[in-house]
Amino acid sequence: MSRMGKFSNLVAAFALAATMAGGVALAQTQGGPVSALKGHDSNAPIDVASDRIEVQDRADRAIFAGNVKVRQAELALDTERLTVAYTSAGGLQIDRLDASGGVVVRSPSETARGDFGIYDLNRRLITLIGSVQLQRGDSRISGGRMTIDLDSGRAVVDGGPAGVGESGGRVTGRFTVPQRRGG
């Protein structure tokens, strides 16, 4: 396929995806572990908006820069720079999104933050790295890395190396508890 043909397919794919919007569905189950985006539709179209796009057809990637906003079904991601890796054999298929420059993943009830983010569509994994924070209401978990398995909904937060970021090598948390009467 010619370079212009690949570019046209890429632009068409993003144009078709323009109807998607939403938020992240990170949730804590009653008395159980944190579940995150279980059942998220990673086959849903992806909508990307930014100040600039650079398509590198020979490398099968596109780089979005400046005020990047990504939406896919229940997933919303904001960052300063996003690299989209794709394959064009048999039609355009997005394989991976790499975000940098402060990554924020939001839903109506939660916000997750990190320095870098990776969304591997083939493995159905989302990873946030560096000064990771997950907040829901007044409760917060901090660490060095968070991995979300979209198949199981399992979220794992690691502390990261000691002395790096706010966690000091450990996972930390602060959780609100229901106010009880009596002592």
- Residue 9 confidence (pLDDT) above 50: no
Give pTM, 2 decimals. 0.73
* Residues ≥6 apart with Cβ < 8 Å to 183: none
Topology of the domain comprising 3-174: lipopolysaccharide transport protein A fold (2.60.450)
pLDDT, residue 2, reads 46
Q: Which residue has the higher pLDDT, 118 or 148?
A: 118
Least confident of 83-87, 136-140, 151-155, 163-167: 163-167
- Residue 112 confidence (pLDDT) above 60: yes
User: What is the pLDDT confidence band of residue 115, given thresholds at 50, 70 and 90?
Assistant: very high
Q: Which residue has the higher pLDDT, 158 or 81?
A: 81
- Residue 117 confidence (pLDDT) above 50: yes
pLDDT, residue 108, reads 64
d(CA 99, CA 105): 11
Map out the domains of the chain as residue ranges: 3-174
Least confident of 132-136, 153-157, 179-183: 179-183
Q: Give the number of other CB atoms < 10 A from CB of residue 81.
A: 18
Q: Which residue has the higher pLDDT, 108 or 13?
A: 108
Q: Which residue has the higher pLDDT, 89 or 139?
A: 139
Of 83, 87, 92, 80, which is closest to residue 15 (Cα–Cα)? 92
